[in-house]
Amino acid sequence: MKRILWILVLSLFFHSCEKDDICTPETPTTPRLIIEFYDSENTSVLKQVANLAVKGQGLNTALNFNLVSKIELPLKTSEDQTLYDFTINSTSATSVFNVDKIEINYTRRDIYISRACGFKTYYSLNLLNPVVETNPENDTVLWIKDINVIKNNIENEDNVHVKIFF
Amino acid sequence: MSKYFFSIGFYLFSISLMAQEQTKDSIPVKTERYGVRVGVDLFKIGKSVFEDGYQGIELVGDYRLTKNYYLAGELGNENRTVQEDRLNFTTKGTYFKVGFDYNVYENWLDMENLVYVGFRIGVSSHSQELNTYKVYNRNPYLGEAPDVISGAKFDGLSAQWGEFILGVKAELFSNVYAGFSARIHFLVNETELDGFENLYIPGFNKTYGGSFGVGFNYTISYFIPIYKKKIEPKIAKP
């Protein structure tokens, strides 16, 4: 009887252990927009960007890319539009420095991943005006010559979604 | 020498005769009581009081079938809201478990304590509601998005599972028992959710994608005797 009561008391201690559940880094989560840059003169040839600064509207810091032909940009998960300023030759003070405004329009779907990771957002670029390019005020030069959407559905980072020609 | 042996042998023989006479005359007939034991899980009641977002109750019962076998079961209801790092959900539902307990404890005299192993089949009927969630974004350059309020509700869910049990029941005082059981659950089947998953199953407890779970209860129960069975005393062979 006494021994059984002891087992009861001891058993109070071992229910406090719970299994950990973590979101592993390999788990695919919200994908970024993958953009590849091509030569506008020879549209099948990849072209590297020089000191490209991509700045989200209203933000103070930029994402910087140099001597690459492929970049990855996060999109807003709570709005159907993301605005970026693309500045080419951003470190140069001369006339080669140029800013183009890029507006990315899409619809969103939130997809369940797991208890630990929560949800991820899948995007679908609009068919009508997926990526819109404009000049800032007092600027008449568009350094980006053309934009092509390759893949409307953004569900992973394995494929290129948009091609930019300059 | 032989005389000496003979007297010892005679002496032992007479003792064995005496012993046999004693078993027939002086040991009272042992009886075992059979009946129904009903109780409640104290842990779930305590948790309902002390933990925010949890309301639950579990009624337990067993019926003694033979010397060592008991028909046993649990009936419970749970309403639980869980705040995870990246989501918040509420699961509501009822469960029922039925199976057997086998007492492996040999009681002294007329004690009626149990150390038992058991098996259950469990079934739940529940619903799950996703309250809020966060979108996982490894590149929060544009800032962390606020929690998304969902409210998606998944009704008519069910799960079936089995449980292996190790437990004790000790009689504290007349007909009142304190019990503890530790359980290993293994999921057999569950309703698949479209775009979500069962994160908690009433009676089964947490699920982590894997099909194993653990559980326990601390019960207080009352034994209602229905009839008695006489136990024939075992007579040792001489």
What does the pLDDT read at residue B15? 46
Q: For chain B, which ranges sit under pLDDT 70?
A: 1-28, 207-210, 232-238
Per residue in A111-142, pLDDT (tens digit) is 999 988 999 999 999 999 999 999 988 888 89
Q: Are B95 and B76 in contact (CB under 8 A)?
A: yes
For a pLDDT cut of 90, what percent of chain A falls above it?
A: 69
CB atoms within 10 A of CB B80: 22
Kindly determine whether residue A118 and residue B85, on different chains, have CB atoms separated by under 8 Å: yes
Identify which of B63, B192, B54, B190 has the alpha carbon closest to the alpha carbon of residue B122: B190
Instruction: Judge whether A87 and A52 are in contact, CB under 8 Å.
Output: yes
pLDDT computed for residue A138 by the predictor: 82
pLDDT in the model for residue B108? 80
B138/A30 touch (CB, cutoff 8 Å), yes or no? yes
ipTM > 0.90 (yes/no): no
The CA distance from A62 to the nearest CA of chain B, in Å, is 9
Taking only residues 4 to 63 of chain A, the set having a beta carbon closer than 8 angstroms to any beta carbon of chain B reads 4-5, 7-8, 11, 14-15, 18-19, 21, 23, 29-30, 32, 56, 59, 63
Residue A139 pLDDT: 85
Which of A7, A64, A115, A121 best probes binding to B when mutated, by most B CB atoms within 10 angstroms?
A115
* Angstroms from B235 CA to nearest CA on chain A: 27
Distance CA B165, CA B97 (A): 12
Q: Which residue has the higher pLDDT, A83 or A14?
A: A83
For residue A120, give the nearest of B135, B206, B218 by CB distance.
B135
What are the φ/ψ torsions at residue B5 (nearest 5 degrees)? Answer: -55, -45
Facing residues of B66 across strands?
A: none
Q: What is the per-residue pLDDT across A16-41, written as a single tens digit (0 to 9) for each?
A: 444 457 888 889 999 999 999 999 99
CATH of B30-231, one of 3.30.450.20, 3.40.640.10, 2.40.160.20, 3.40.50.300: 2.40.160.20
Residue range A8-14: mean pLDDT, rounded: 53
pLDDT at residue B13, as a whole number? 46
Per-residue pLDDT band at A90 (split at 50, 70, 90): confident
Q: What is the pLDDT of residue B178?
A: 96
More confident residue, A158 or A138: A158
A31 to chain B: which residues are within 8 Å by CB? none
pLDDT higher than threshold 90 for residue A8: no
Copy the structure tokens of residue B40: 């409640």
Interface of A with B in 72-111 (CB under 8 A): 72, 74-78, 82, 110-111
Handedness of CA B170, B176, B179, B185 (dihedral sign): positive
Residue A69's nearest CA partner among A150, A3, A165, A141 is A165
Which residues have C-beta within 8 Å of that of residue B2, sequence separation ≥ 6?
none
**Residue B27's pLDDT is what?**
61
Nearest to A7 by CA among B191, B166, B146: B166
Residues 106..165 of B with a Cβ closer than 8 Å to A: which? 111, 113, 115, 133-142, 145-146, 148
- Tell me the pTM: 0.79
**Residue A6 has what pLDDT?**
62
pLDDT at site A9: 55
